Amino acid sequence: MEQFNKVHIRGIVGNARIKVIGDTELAHFSVATDRVFKNRSGEAVVETTWHSVTAFKKDRFPDFAGLVKGARVEVKGRLCNNRYTDQEGIERSTVEILANEITFVE
């Protein structure tokens, strides 16, 4: 049985932080995706989910300068679970997408 960890989302960039570490660019940004469904009353409900994305600059990535609030992007990558202890000593966990491919969508 083949096992794989693959994620493919398309949405809108919320915030983005770009750092330069040595000669490599690193982008941390969020992407909002929407799901529309009807509730029991028949009313349309929009459910927005925010995804954290991390990307290390690669040749096939577009220029990170385009990662601005409101930009439409498609991200392909894998899920990564992280654990850390916050300033109050509470152990927390996060899930982020490590991007293999980023495309700007019109």
- The pLDDT value given to residue 20: 92
Question: What 8-state DSSP symbol labels residue 68?
Answer: -
Query: pLDDT of 33-69, one tens digit each?
Result: 999 999 999 999 999 999 999 999 877 788 898 999 9
Reported residue count of the chain is 106
Q: What is the distance of C-alpha 14 from the center of its chain?
A: 10
Fold of 7-104: OB fold (Dihydrolipoamide Acetyltransferase, E2P) (2.40.50)
Whether 55 and 61 have beta carbons less than 8 Å apart is answered as yes
Q: Break the chain into its structural domains and give their ranges.
A: 7-104
Q: What is the mean pLDDT of residues 88-94?
A: 94
